Chains A and B, each alone.
Chain A
Amino acid sequence: MGRAHIARTIGDTLLKVDNVSLGFGGVKALTDVSFDIAKGEIRAIIGPNGAGKSSMLNCINGFYQPSQGSISYKGVVRGAMRPYEAARGGIARTFQNIALFKGMSTLDNIMTGRLLKMKRGFLWQCLHWGPAQAEEIAHRETVERVIDFLEIQAIRKTPVGRLPYGLQKRVELGRALAAEPELLLLDEPMAGMNLEEKEDMCRFILDVNEQFGTTIALIEHDMGVVMDISDRVVVLEYGRKIADGTPDTVKADPKVIAAYLGTGHG
C-alpha cells in the first residue's frame, strides 16, 4: 500500500503548521493543531464532518487568520495575510463547493489561473496588440496544455455553468493547475463523483504530483482513495489532531478507528 515504491523526491518541509487554533466567537474550529507538509508529497487531511478540515485549508491559504499559533511556508513564518498573497507565494486550491466563475467559459476560467503571471500593463491591454497579444498567446499555450492534460478539449468554449458537476470539478482543478502552484490544496476533489469520475480524478492528482512534482494537500472522505494515493495522513477530530503518519499506521490507530466508528465516546 502507499506509494513508497514510486521514485519521487520527497524533500524538506514545505509548509509547517505550528499549534494553530482558530475560533469563531465561542466556537472553536481548530485547537492546537501541528503538522507539516513535505515538498513533493501527497498529504491527506481526513476526519469526520465538522472536524475542522476545511478551516485548516482556509488557514493555510490565508482566508482565515489563526487566532493562535503560526504557519511557516518555505521556512518563513507568515504574518497576517490576505489570500491573494498566498496565491502569489505559489499556493493554489480548489473548493468543496465548486467556486468557478459561472459567467465565463472553461477556457477563460482556466486563463484566470494565469492572471498572476501576466504582467503587461494597462496601455498594452487597451491595444491588445504587440507584447500584450504575445503574452496572451504564450499563456494560452500553457492553458491549452492544462486542457489537454485534463482531457477537456471539447468543452473549451462552453460556459462553465452549463457543465455537469464532474466536469466542473475538473475545470476547477485546471484553474488551480494553470497557476503552476508549488502547493496545491484540494478540498474534497472527489465529493459527489461516481466511480469512474473518481478514478479519473485520482489519476490526474497522481500525474500532477509525479509529472510536475507539485506538493498536494487534500481533504477527502473516501477512505479507499485516501489510503491509496497519499503518502502521509493527518487525522482531525473536533478540531484536534488525533493521528498523523503513513496510511498504514493511521489505519491501525485505535483513536482513528474510534473516531470513525463512533466508539469511545459513549
Chain B
Amino acid sequence: MDFMIDFLFGPLKEIWEFPIFFVEVVVGGILTGVMYSLVALGFVLIFKASGVFNFAQGAMVLCAALTFVGFHELGVPQWLSLILTLGVMVALAFAIERIVLRPLVNQAPIILFMATIGITFFIDGFFQMVWGEDVKRLDIGIPKEPLEIGGVLVNTFDIVAALVAGTLVGVLAFFFQSTRIGRALRAVADDHQAAQSVGIPLQTIWVIVWSVAGIVALVAGIMWGSKLGVQFSLALIALKALPVLILGGFTSIPGAIIGGLIIGVGEKVAEVFWAAKIGGGIEDWFAYILALFFLMFRPQGLFGERIIERV
C-alpha cells in the first residue's frame, strides 16, 4: 500500500517542488515528440493516398540515412549525396509500386500490410548488405549546445529538428490541399476505382506518394541519424511512430503531430518521474499502452474519420 501511494503521489510531489525541472522535461518531450511525428508523417501520407498501412516506413528511414551517409563516406559531397539519395528513394518507390503494389491491387488491406512487413525485411537486409552495419556518424552541422530560454534548458538541435518538422508539415499540407496532384491523391485515397474512372492514373499517383514518403523518410533519417548515429536501430524508430499513429488516427496529418507531442511528453514525464520506481526502461511499451488507453474511447484515433458501418 505504501508503495502504491508513493508510486502514485510521490512523483506529483516532486513535480510540485521542482516546476522548472518539470517544464524542462515537458519541453524535451515535445521536441522528441516532433521527431516521432516526423516518422509518423510518412505513414500517414501513404495511408491517405493508397490505404496501405506501410510498415516499411521505418526501414525507409534507415535506408535513406544509410544511403546518404554511405555516399558521403565514399567522398561524395553532401549536397550531391542528398540528390543521389533522393534518386534512390524515388527508385525505391518505383520498384515497390511495380513489384508489390500493382500485383496486390484490390487485395484486403491486411494483406497489403503484411506485404509491407515483407518489404521491411527486404529493405533492412539489402541496404545493410550494401552499406554495412557499423554505426556511422552523421554531422550536417547543426549545433548541439544547450540553450537557455526563460530559465529552461533546451537543446539547440531539438529546436532545429522541430523547425524542420514544422516546415515539412506546412509544405505537405499545402501540397495536399492546394495542388492538382494533392487533389488527385485525396481522390485516390477515397476510392481507387472511382478515381481511375475519372482519369487519374493510379500507378503514377502511387509512385508519387511513395516518393514523397521516401523524402519524408530521408528528412527523418537525417535528423534521427545525426542525433543517434546511423545504424540499424533507426529502423526501430518506426515502432515509436506506430503508437503516435493509432493515437492520432491514420488519416490525419495534424493527428500525427498532436499524437507525436502527446506520446513524446507522456513518455518523457513517465520515464523521468515514474519509471525508476518500477525498474526503468519503460519507453519500449509506455507509448503503446497510452495509445491503447485512448483507443478504448476513440477507436478511430483522436483525429481519424468516424466510420459508419453499413450492410
Contact = CB atoms under 8 A, between A and B. Distances in A.
A contacts B directly in the complex (CB < 8 Å)? yes
Interface of A: 24, 54, 58, 63, 95-97, 99
Contact of B308 (A24, A97, A99): A24
Contacts, number: 9
B311 A58 contact: yes
A252 to B, nearest CB: 34
A54 B311 CA distance: 8
A63 B311 contact: yes
Contacts of B308: 24
A97 B310 CA distance: 10
6 contacts: A24-B308, A58-B311, A63-B309, A63-B311, A97-B311, A99-B311
Given A63-B309, A63-B311, A95-B311, 6 more contacts: A24-B308, A54-B311, A58-B311, A96-B311, A97-B311, A99-B311
A170 to B, nearest CB: 19
A95 B309 CA distance: 14
Nearest to A93: B311
Contacts of B311: 54, 58, 63, 95-97, 99
Contacts of B309: 63
A24 B311 CA distance: 15
Nearest to B306: A25
Contacts of A58: 311
Contacts of A95: 311
A86 to B, nearest CB: 13
Nearest to A55: B310
B260 to A, nearest CB: 30
A97 B308 CA distance: 16
Nearest to A97: B311
Contacts of A54: 311
B300 to A, nearest CB: 15
Interface in B272-311: 308-309, 311
A105 to B, nearest CB: 20
A208 B309 CA distance: 30
B11 to A, nearest CB: 41
Nearest to B308: A24
A208 to B, nearest CB: 21
A66 to B, nearest CB: 16
